Amino acid sequence: MSRRIRPDPTRRALVTGICGAATLTACGSGGGPTSPPSAPGPGSPAPSPTQAGGSPSVVARSDIPIGGGTVFPDYRLVVTRPTAGDVRAFTAICTHDGCLLATVADATIQCPCHGSRFAIADGAVVHGPALRALTPRNIEIQGDSIILNP
């Protein structure tokens, strides 16, 4: 009766196994119910506010600065006010690499990952590496209130 001896695993096999386990965890296959939702990849539609945060939110128009905007990460939405009478909304997912946009400053919506910037008036690329404009999103305006879940 011979006993089969397994050779020690190679470094490549160990790295492949570790990377595979990390990928499964990052993709949510092993994370369980407490794993945070992942951002959609480039070109993927952003979830509706109902999917992202549950019930609709109401924001006062005056809470959005004129010439600026506010990012609502739970809704993956950025609302801007290029002028006093103009309110716009865009997906808050960068078209370059799918990162969640973080801030609005200097009349641009800014991505923290690679430095892309988008115009608050139309979502156009002001500074790359992004090549595509942000996708416009619908919002509902009732008087001085902005409803993030139309």
Domain count, the chain: 2
Q: Which domain holds residue 20?
A: 6-36
Same domain, 10 and 70: no
Q: Would you say the pTM of this structure is higher than 0.75?
A: no
89 located within any domain: yes
More confident residue, 150 or 123: 123
Asked if 111 and 99 touch (Cβ cutoff 8 Å), the reply is yes
74 located within any domain: yes
Same domain, 124 and 70: yes
As a whole number of angstroms, the distance between CA 46 and CA 108 comes to 20
pLDDT value, residue 87: 92
Same domain, 73 and 140: yes
- Pairing type for strands 145-147 and 58-60 reads antiparallel
CATH number of the domain where residue 102 is located = 2.102.10.10
Convert the pLDDT of each residue in 15-66 to its tens digit: 455 544 444 344 444 443 333 334 444 433 333 333 444 566 888 888 899 9
Residue percentage of the chain with pLDDT more than 90? 38
Same domain, 102 and 66: yes
